[in-house]
Structure 1
Amino acid sequence: MIDREHSYLRLAVDLAILTVREDTLQVLVITRANEPFRGRPALPGGFLRGDEDIPDAAVRELAEETGLDGNRLHLEQLRAYGAPGRDPRGRVVSVAFLAIMPDLPLPTAGSDASSAAWVPVEQARGTLAFDHDEILDEAVERARTRLEFTTLATTFCGPSFTIGDLRNVYEVVWGQAVDPRNFSRKVIGTPGFVEQTGERRIPEIGRPAALYRAGAETSLNPPIMRG
């Protein structure tokens, strides 16, 4: 007879909520009020209850710890994290969710969070409890890929915007400079990405710039690749 040792697991959710604020890519971070890692920054999250589905737990934990309404966000599953030792309380597998949204309000701490705030990604990296640095890194990479293959960047620009405004979103999320001429050529040459409004923005200094609005397409073909 083969003796098999079975692990008893607890299932949790963690949330990487990203937005562009003050021309920086920022992540929603809480300060843990309880052990383990009391006083350390972490991504919002917590354990599933016995009567709820995983996405429902993600929405509940986000509301309890930050006051934000997860039902108004597009939460997509990033992946599951289950390395032994990732949580000192025992064998815990966490399903991580990602949301990339503009115009998100200031969070308010609650539940087992002593504070909640938007923090620049570069400031948060290397400080987070559990394996949340790994989750954040993969969430940022997913966000960067989204900008390559979708028109997500236009949602951060308002009803009308210049090509320079749109390029700034790419530079903030990608964390690298983008060649203005190549970018403008690719954006304008991609059907359905943007549409001209017929109006121009007149700056105090410099030349007027044409204004655009988001086009009808949600995916980019061809994609706009980093590099």
Structure 2
Amino acid sequence: MDDRLTGAVGVELSLVTVDLAIFTIRNGELAVLLIDRGKEPFSGRAALPGGRVRSHETLGEGAQRELQEETGVDPGRLHLEQLGAYGDPGRDPRGRVVTIAHLALGPDLPVPRGGTDAAHAYWAPVEELLATPDALAFDHGRIVTDALERVRGELEYTTVATAFCPDVFTLTELRHVYELVWGLPLDPSNFRRKVTRADGFVEPTGQQRPQPAGRPAALYRPGPARLLSPPFLRAAVHQ
């Protein structure tokens, strides 16, 4: 089927698609969800999950449907937000296609399954992927790079880091989120002090988790705050 749309007077219209940059932490690494495309264009190439928005759908509804169809990941487990629009001429060989990229975050998400036009879905380490971003189909390397920078910035000013954590977590697990996303080590004592002093960032559950060595670790849950006060500037936390 021709993927182009033509208006009543024969003028070609733009297609609108959604693409999803979905990050999780697996096996001690920051990972992004990729699919191997099962059809042209770029058949066999790695890409972000996504597809055309249907006429009756909102952008968010289209993103959630594509996520389920191509990967089997439950959108309800994710923090989902719009990242931006990508519409440079030539980004898609089928014609002028504008995509609305979405950013999603989740805690240790399961091994996904491929579906529809996705031959295979899998988690890829972000660090390795960014070494060769042009290996991805379309302009998806640029989208992944932009999405990672968005997440890095949001960790400084919002509480979104807890989206990578399970329902209850230790401060060590939360610190590892920051270290993996920012790509730098953090001083444990300094990090703990800043987290516990930030209004509404985390709340103690009163429970503890046994550790292989040493004292049990206190467990926390996400607090009600959405913005960090004071912010977690990378340079300051790294000190």
Q: State the TM-score bracket (shorter-chain normalisation).
A: 0.7 to 0.9
Equivalent residue, structure 1, for 2:136: 128
Root mean square deviation, CA, Å: 2.2
Q: 1:66 to 1:161 in 2, by over 3 A?
A: closer
1:48-89 Cα deviation digits (max 9, x unpaired): 233333222222222221122335534211111011111111
Deviation for aligned residue 1:206? 4.0
User: How big is the shift at 1:116?
Assistant: 0.4
Moved more, 53-62 or 138-147: 53-62
Q: Which residue number corresponds to residue 231 of structure 2? A: 223
1:118 and 1:207, CA in 2 relative to 1: closer, same or farther beyond 3 A?
Answer: same
Equivalent residue number for residue 24 of structure 2: 19
Range that drifts further, 202-211 or 8-17: 202-211
Structure 2 segments unaligned to the other structure (5+ residues): 1-10
Q: Does 1:169 align with 2:177?
A: yes
Distance 1:156 1:16 in 2: 14
2:213 aligned residue: 205
Share of identical aligned residues, percent? Answer: 56
The 2-side partners of 1:95 and 1:155 are apart by 22
1:108 maps to 2:117: no
- Unpaired runs of 5+ residues, structure 1, are 1-5
Q: Residue 148 of structure 1: SS of its match in structure 2?
A: helix
TM-score, normalising length: structure 1? 0.87
Q: Secondary structure at the match of 2:229?
A: coil
| Residue in 1 that maps onto 2:97 | 92
* Structure 2 CA distance for partners of 1:9 and 1:196, relative to 1, 3 Å: closer
For residue 92 of structure 1, report the CA deviation from its aligned partner.
Answer: 0.9
Higher deviation after alignment, 185-194 or 92-101: 185-194
- Asked if the contact 2:107–2:166 (Cα under 8 Å) also holds between the matched residues in 1, the reply is no
SS, match of residue 51 in structure 2: strand
**Who is 2:193 aligned against?**
185
Alpha-carbon distance between aligned partners in 2 of 1:56 and 1:71, rounded to the nearest angstrom: 12
Alignment size in residue pairs: 222
Cα deviation for residue 159 of structure 1 reads 4.4
Instruction: State how far apart, in whole Å, the 2-side matches of 1:168 and 1:213 are.
Output: 16
Write the distance in 1 (CA, Å) between the matches of 2:136 and 2:30. 17
Aligned match of 1:37 in 10, 33, 42? 42
Q: Is the alpha carbon distance of 1:180 and 1:89 closer, same or farther for their aligned partners in structure 2, counting shifts above 3 Å?
A: same
Counterparts of 1:127-146 in structure 2, within 5 Å, are 127-146=135-154
| Cα contact 1:59–1:71 (8 A) shared by 2 | no
